[in-house]
Structure 1
């Protein structure tokens, strides 16, 4: 997911996407611990997507407080 795609989402969509990614991250960790993980690069990608969403949420929150 690109940053430009994340910026276009509504706050509700961002929250839904964040929950979905956190569930996926948990499942990837579980698979990794049990030795069943095939695409190890997906862990890094999910972690960065979560960070992108949290960054956009934080930017919007601070913009509302200031403006």
Structure 2
């Protein structure tokens, strides 16, 4: 699954797809422990798809507040204070 295809999906669809792939990954790992897989490469592909989906989901979560309101600027904190000894 390409990242550009994932970006077209809604957040809910991305979360559903992540759940489906995590279940598939679980089944593949279980089968690989008990028997030889037809395509061991599928494990790697599913893991990478999950990572790709999580990355796009995080991008969407970070972009959502910026689109909402620009009225409250974020305060940047100064350097941390040292504890006295």
More helix by share: 1
Counterpart in 2 of 1:4?
4
User: Considering only aligned residues, what root-mean-square deviation do their CA atoms show, in Å?
Assistant: 1.1
Unaligned runs of 5+ in 1: none
TM-score, normalised to structure 2's length? Answer: 0.73
Higher RCO by CA contacts (8 Å cutoff, separation 6 or greater): 1
Residue 64 (structure 1) shift = 2.0
Give the ranges of 4+ consecutive aligned residues of structure 1 lying more than 4 Å apart after TM superposition.
none
Give the TM-score, by structure 1 length.
0.91
Mind listing any 5+ residue stretches in structure 2 that lack a counterpart? 68-85
Report how many aligned residue pairs link the two structures: 67
